[in-house]
Structure 1
Amino acid sequence: MSTGLKKSSLNDGEKILTSEEQQAKINEVRRLIGQLPQKLSIYCSDASIARYLSARNWNVKKATKMLKDTLKWRSDYKPEEIRWEDIAHEAETGKIYRSNYIDKHGRTVLIMRPSRQNSKSTRGQIRYLVYCMENAILNLPPDQEQMVWLIDFEGFNMSHISVKVTRETARVLQDHYPERLGVAILYNPPKFFEPFFTVHIS
């Protein structure tokens, strides 16, 4: 059985703004961010800023802080400099990889297989996740900001979960990749996932 978790275009309680109001808030965030080096300015397109605003219910102050934190993280962590040879050992079992197909909207599909975890290194696992996220984003078409996750739980059990890695994964994705997930398809998910999601059975 597969379960589809759809990311709504509107978060619960999210403000409904006109395109003019949205653009005004985008411009205000850009003004507050100020001038940036070229290598960081590419992460402050209108579409990128809109994702941060959406994640913070179009609150300019909160979205600006969130984006500034991401820009600092990018300067320190340098995700664009992670190379295949740096994370190849994490990829050996195929626990996360970008599919060679896209969905009907042209979105990149990331395949995740938690049961194939082969590492106890939190640092290594997070670097590999970031590498895969960056690669998926680079392969999105110009008109898309979101991707699809297909999570295959075949063979999964609780021994594959690290609380520390799970917590750090959630932090990185929520803080630095807001509104990137369009839909998550869970194949054969464990029962304990069910209370946490509003699901659509496909």
Structure 2
Amino acid sequence: MSTSVVATPVANKPTEFSDEERAALAELHKRLPEVFESAAKQTTKPVEKAIWGVPLEPSLNDPRTDVVLVKFLRARTLDADAAAKMLADTLQWRSDFEINALLDEEFPEDIFKNIGVVYGKDRRGRPVTYNFYGSPECKEGFKDIERFLRWRIQLMEKGVRQLDFVNVADMVQVHDYDGVGIFSYDRNARTASRETIK
């Protein structure tokens, strides 16, 4: 069986930051009005000043806010300008994609329950998402790329929303490629993978 597990190393507590992270966080705080304005200019839909149920306005004094903002900073090696752009693009994309409405969408269970599921937690309390890319249902799931992407994003959102961002701020992804070979990975599968990564 070919399985890969990707887990982000975690600090003792998600709310503990290095001095460098605190300095970058202060810079990102200053840029948040520009972030919200930039996101709003890129879409015709309302932009929520929150992500994964966490408000992004530091004035609300929610400890989860800084944990989420530091995730963007770490993704851009603590470059506040790059993190601000990434955050604005993310808020715009979430608005255009209508993420909150997506959480209520229903997908054919006979297809998707065997492709991926959020199930249980690891020893650190992180939710675990299992993805079975060798299941027979994958071929059917990949036929409609837009539907597959909406389902896959919903699956991730459901996993992330299990995080409290105070004690647990990471999740575990298990990708099971058992049964996947060079010839079984058809055009639809390649397109679905490429679009998911994008």
1:40 to 16, 40, 49: 49
1:126 to 132, 149, 152: 149
SS in 1 for 2:107: helix
Offset at residue 8 of structure 1 (A): 4.4
**Cα 1:66–1:56 shift into 2, 3 Å:** same
Question: Which 10-residue stretch deviates more, 117-126 or 18-27?
Answer: 18-27
What amino acid sits opposite 1:26 in the alignment?
L
2:192 to 158, 165, 171: 165
**Cα 1:108–1:148 shift into 2, 3 Å:** same
Q: Distance in 2 between matches of 1:151 and 1:26?
A: 33
Q: Distance in 2 between matches of 1:107 and 1:9?
A: 10
- Asked if the contact 1:98–1:111 (Cα under 8 Å) also holds between the matched residues in 2, the reply is yes
Q: Deviations over 1:127-182 (max 9, x none)?
A: 111101110011124422211112222222342452222121112xxxxxxxxxxx
Relative to the length of structure 2, the TM-score reads 0.70
Report the equivalent of 1:29.
28
- Asked if the contact 1:90–1:128 (Cα under 8 Å) also holds between the matched residues in 2, the reply is no
Offset at residue 49 of structure 1 (A): 1.0
Offset at residue 123 of structure 1 (A): 0.8
- Asked if the contact 1:87–1:127 (Cα under 8 Å) also holds between the matched residues in 2, the reply is no
Q: Distance in 2 between matches of 1:40 and 1:138?
A: 16
SS in 2 for 1:115: coil
Relative to the length of structure 1, the TM-score reads 0.69
**Cα 1:27–1:91 shift into 2, 3 Å:** farther
Gaps of 5+ in 2: 12-16, 37-45, 57-64
Q: Distance in 1 between matches of 2:7 and 2:49?
A: 30
Question: Which 10-residue stretch deviates more, 20-29 or 130-139?
Answer: 20-29
1:114 to 123, 133, 137: 133
Q: Please report the RMSD computed on the Cα atoms of aligned residues, expressed in angstroms.
A: 2.7
Kindly tell me the number of residue pairs found equivalent between the two proteins. 163
**Cα 1:151–1:29 shift into 2, 3 Å:** same
Between the aligned residues of both structures, percent identity stands at: 24
What amino acid sits opposite 1:147 in the alignment?
M
Report the equivalent of 2:168.
144
Q: Distance in 1 between matches of 2:134 and 2:150?
A: 19
Gaps of 5+ in 1: 11-17, 172-202
Q: Distance in 2 between matches of 1:95 and 1:74?
A: 23
**Cα 1:169–1:92 shift into 2, 3 Å:** closer
